[in-house]
Amino acid sequence: MATSDGDLLDRTFQTPKEAERERRLRRRLSRQRKGSNNRARTRAALGKLTGRVRARRADFAARTAHVLCAENAVVVLEKLNTTNMTASAKGTTHAPGVNVRQKAGLNRAILAKGWHGLTLACQNAARRTGSQIVEVNPAYTSQTCHSCGYVAVENRESQSVFCCGRCGHTAHADVNAAQNILTRGWTSPSG
């Protein structure tokens, strides 16, 4: 997550050893007979492991939301529809999807970060702090220059580098997008 102040907040919720253990448990679970006691034990171990990851994600969201809402009267967020963003690219038998494996990896990455959970945590924290939550349309925020307003796909050189093709403004791409989102939040009718 990037803030308009330039802070980049991120946390790894699952260690590499936990990821390996989850992979082994899922493989073991797929080989076990349904209804067996061994399968029940494997499911319990898998649930315990994924529960810890889920708890870390919820804790990060709650702490981040508390800090954001305590320090700001208005918090502006992207209105992301994660359900549609993580829809399968599988397609049908008559019209099969394209890049299905890549899309599945992207879906896992989106869900692993818990974007929707952060939005819910901000709304919950805003009730206690009296902050206002404004959600804006995220379209073209990562391609728009915050300095001059020039919109072009070429402005986003890479995942983290933003360089305006008109005025030459350079910044971290996510911070530039966060500044655009804040500007939209102030100019929106509800902001």
| H-helix or E-strand spanning residue 171 | strand 170-172
Residue 157's pLDDT is what?
86
Residue 189's pLDDT is what?
66
Residue 49's pLDDT is what?
97
Segments in the chain below pLDDT 50:
none
Residue 159's pLDDT is what?
86
Alpha-carbon span 67 to 69, nearest angstrom: 6
Residue 188's pLDDT is what?
72
Alpha-carbon span 39 to 26, nearest angstrom: 10
Are 79 and 136 within 8 A, CB to CB?
yes
Q: What is the pLDDT of residues 6-40, one digit of tens each?
A: 999 988 999 999 999 999 999 999 999 999 999 99
- The whole model's pTM is what? 0.83
H, E, C per residue of 33-71: CCCCHHHHHHHHHHHHHHHHHHHHHHHHHHHHHHHHHHH
C-alpha distances out from residue 132 to 20, 85, 170, Å: 41, 26, 30
